[in-house]
Amino acid sequence: MLRDRGYLLPKEIQRHAEAGADCIHRHKTGTIYLDPETGRAIDLPKMLRSNANLDILVMLNNEERTPVRLVSAPVDEETANLRRMKARKEAHGHNPSKAVLELMDWTIMITTIAPRKADFRTLLAIYGLRWRIEVIFKAWKSHLRFGNLHRVSKTQMLILLKARLFLITCSTNLLHRALESCLWRRHRRRISLLKLIGFLAAAPANILRALASLSLADADNLDFHQALLRYCCYDRRKRKNFSDLWEQLA
């Protein structure tokens, strides 16, 4: 399970563990970790000062004393300063504590995945896939115009919402994977989900062309593929996109 820090709740981690599911979470301010031997709260800043790279077993401060693995690695000064700036901004006039600001010098994660299965870098790469959720939300806001659903009847509202949800499901679960596979096979290019949804939302004809292309031979889709290459693919760059990271981890 890859979830936002707002969902770092001991009862949720315990529920996942009981269901046999692993999870990865970023450390959340205020989370208390206990020493498995003494049962006492760990002084995390003090521990990190003496050992910046941690990979230890701790317990959560819940009734079940759920065991989790805590891992950390230091970040560069620029990243740490940006984090502190963001923390102060989000505090809305309340200064974050010295300990909270100090922890910005590290990336700290907790997980139920065993060390032999994933080191810190692998955990960080897997957690990075969660950004896909933010991309989908951005596509909803930027291209599907959910904010424009106002001053209409209840029936019209339901029709508009269902149409948009259909487009989301169709583009993310059906079209994106199939079209990306085709373009990667023929042109070694990756389709951006954000750009694809914008392309499909721009005109109903684009959705029909995309659906029709799934049942046609590649030779019959040359013009459509050229449109996808021009408007829907990632720019050529060294930075890896979601599909590259997914294949690398797989």
DSSP string computed for 106-139: EEEEEESS-TTT--HHHHHHHHHTTHHHHHHHHH
Q: pLDDT tens digit string along 148-177?
A: 667 778 888 888 888 888 888 888 888 888
Top-ranked range on mean pLDDT: pick from 49-63, 130-144, 208-222: 49-63
Alpha-carbon span 209 to 149, nearest angstrom: 26
Q: Quote the strand ranges of 21-134, DSSP E.
A: 24-26, 33-34, 55-60, 67-74, 106-111
Contact at 8 Å (CB) between 65 and 59?
yes
Query: Cα(70)–Cα(110) distance, rounded to whole angstroms?
Result: 4
- Token digits of residue 107: 């990336």
For 124, 126, 189, 190, 198, the CA distances from 131, given in Å and listed in that order, are 12, 10, 21, 17, 18
Q: By the 8 A CB rule, do 190 and 234 touch?
A: yes
Q: Which amino acid is at 143?
A: H
Of 26-40, 84-98, 137-151, the range with the highest mean pLDDT is 26-40
Residue 58's SS3 state is strand
216: left (phi over 0), alpha (psi -120 to 50) or beta: beta
Place of tokens 């021009």: 230
Q: Kindly calculate the radius of gyration of the chain based on its CA atoms and give it in whole angstroms.
A: 23
Residue among 170, 172, 166, 160 nearest 135 (CA): 172
Query: For the segment 190-221, what is each residue's pLDDT rounded down to a tens digit?
Result: 888 888 988 988 888 888 888 888 887 777 78
- Give the SS3 label for residue 57: strand
